[in-house]
């Protein structure tokens, strides 16, 4: 993951995530992995306090190595944060605990979720027999967030083609859910389609 992210393949996605953050004083990324998205948000908002959270210690060691404050936390067990203290809660390709995200969000805060669409890496998935992205994921997300008092106030489809080397193709496959499933080795170089929906959720007057 670190190698693929460092190569810049996902840079347009990171830009969109950072732009969706607004003007936060505190930025938390849940399921931050090596913290690459959070590092981008922190660089764009140097006065903000960034905090990386993840269940995996090795992943957070990488985040700490690039200067991020880190807390080991299982998103499903509850985030070890006071209620109402987070202005921007990022969740990129990671588990989403809508009730917890809502609890820790400040009054004007927002949750930024990046999740793959069915078109994400579709050509590569068809070629290698990889797992599909489930249909209706975006609607389910809106439902889960709505149950937790958060409405979708914006969304942006980030879709672009990326020319990848064979190593990048391998990394793309190995950093997703297919890492633990048997599959053919990708042939390359080739171009892939990155297709990710970046959604922004906030408390609105419907949910005061």
Q: Can you give the binding site for ligand SAM, defined by CB under 6 A?
A: 1, 5, 31-33, 36-37, 54-56, 59, 74-76, 92-95
CB of 26 to ligand SAM, least distance (A): 18
Nearer Cβ to ligand SAM (31/149) = 31
CB of 61 to ligand SAM, least distance (A): 12
CB 116 within 8 A of CB 91: no
CB of 53 to ligand SAM, least distance (A): 7
Nearer Cβ to ligand SAM (75/117) = 75
CB of 185 to ligand SAM, least distance (A): 21
Nearer Cβ to ligand SAM (32/112) = 32
| Separation between Cα atoms, residue 51 and residue 39, nearest integer Å | 10
CB 124 within 8 A of CB 166: no
Residue that is written with structure tokens 């064979």 in the block = 166
List CB contacts of 173: < 8 A, sequence separation 6 or more. 124, 128, 130, 179, 183, 186
Nearer Cβ to ligand SAM (180/206) = 180
Nearer Cβ to ligand SAM (13/145) = 13
CB of 109 to ligand SAM, least distance (A): 19
Report DSSP letters for 138-202, one per residue: HHHHHHHHHHTT-EEEEEEEEEEEEEE-HHHHHHHHHTSGGGGS--PPPP-SEEEEEEEEEEEEE
Residue among 16, 58, 10, 7 at smallest CA distance from 41: 16
CB of 70 to ligand SAM, least distance (A): 12
Nearer Cβ to ligand SAM (41/202) = 41
Residues forming a β-bridge with 40: none
């Amino acid at each position: 993951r670190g190698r693929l992210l460092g190569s810049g393949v996902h840079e347009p996605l990171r830009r969109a995530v950072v732009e969706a953050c607004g003007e936060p004083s505190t930025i938390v990324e849940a399921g931050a992995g090596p913290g690459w998205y959070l590092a981008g948000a922190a660089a764009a908002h140097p006065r903000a306090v960034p905090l990386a959270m993840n269940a995996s210690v090795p992943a957070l060691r990488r985040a700490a190595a690039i200067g991020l404050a880190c807390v080991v936390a299982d998103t499903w067990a509850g985030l070890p944060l006071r209620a109402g203290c987070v202005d921007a809660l990022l969740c990129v390709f990671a588990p989403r605990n809508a009730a917890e995200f809502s609890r820790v969000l400040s009054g004007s805060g927002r949750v930024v979720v990046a999740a793959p669409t069915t078109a994400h890496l579709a050509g590569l998935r068809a070629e290698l027999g990889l797992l599909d992205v489930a249909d209706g994921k975006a609607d389910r997300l809106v439902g889960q967030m709505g149950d937790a008092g958060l409405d979708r106030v914006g969304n942006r489809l980030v879709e672009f083609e990326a020319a990848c080397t064979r190593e990048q193709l391998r990394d793309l496959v190995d950093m997703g859910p297919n890492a633990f499933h048997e599959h053919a080795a990708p042939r390359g170089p080739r171009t892939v389609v990155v297709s990710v929906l970046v959604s922004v959720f906030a408390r609105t007057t419907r949910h005061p």
